[in-house]
Amino acid sequence: MLLAESDSHLFSPPSNSNRCLVFEELLLDADWALNAGNWMWLSASAFFHQFFRVYSPVAFGKKTDKFGDYINAEAHIQDECVCRVKCCTWDPAVQGLVLKGINKEKYLPVLRKMPPEYIYEPWKAPLSVQQKAGCVVGTDYPRRIVLHEDVYKKNIARMSQAYKDNKT
């Protein structure tokens, strides 16, 4: 989601390859080919030019992790967890892998007490809820960098115009 945020919402130029290298070094489950390919894909600068597909970090999080328990789903092969952090364990009761935990407890402890409906949009929580959760936006948690709903429209218009201007 940081990749989508950087390219689609902050309109950061795709030529900035340092971002790719930072992710390569810091990702828990880094894979060079996937990392480089995804930077090109989400920046609409390579083989897949559907620039109008902009992933919202809020909508994506709500869709894939409704309660904010897990920040990242890892790659798996059949019944074995193959990621570096061993995020899953085999559960005989369900005869399958159960995600056990790249979670807010470890990576975003400030959101630990935030009610699930505000996990992905803590700025929407009333001040009293933020105070009770110990997560006041602007003090304990950073303010929003952009209004996603606004920059989404602006950047789609920019990309659309760029593609029209350079159509061959």
Residue ranges of the annotated binding site are: 29-31
CA–CA distance, 23 with 148 (Å, rounded to integer): 22
SS3 content of the chain, % helix, strand, coil (to 5): 45, 10, 45
CB-based contact 62:120 (threshold 8 Å)? yes
Which residues touch 56 (CB under 8 Å, ≥6 apart)?
A: 4, 148, 152
Cβ contacts of residue 125 below 8 Å, gap of 6+?
114, 115, 118, 133, 135, 137
Annotated binding site for FAD: 29-31
CA 152 from centre of chain:
15
CA distance 116 to 132: 14
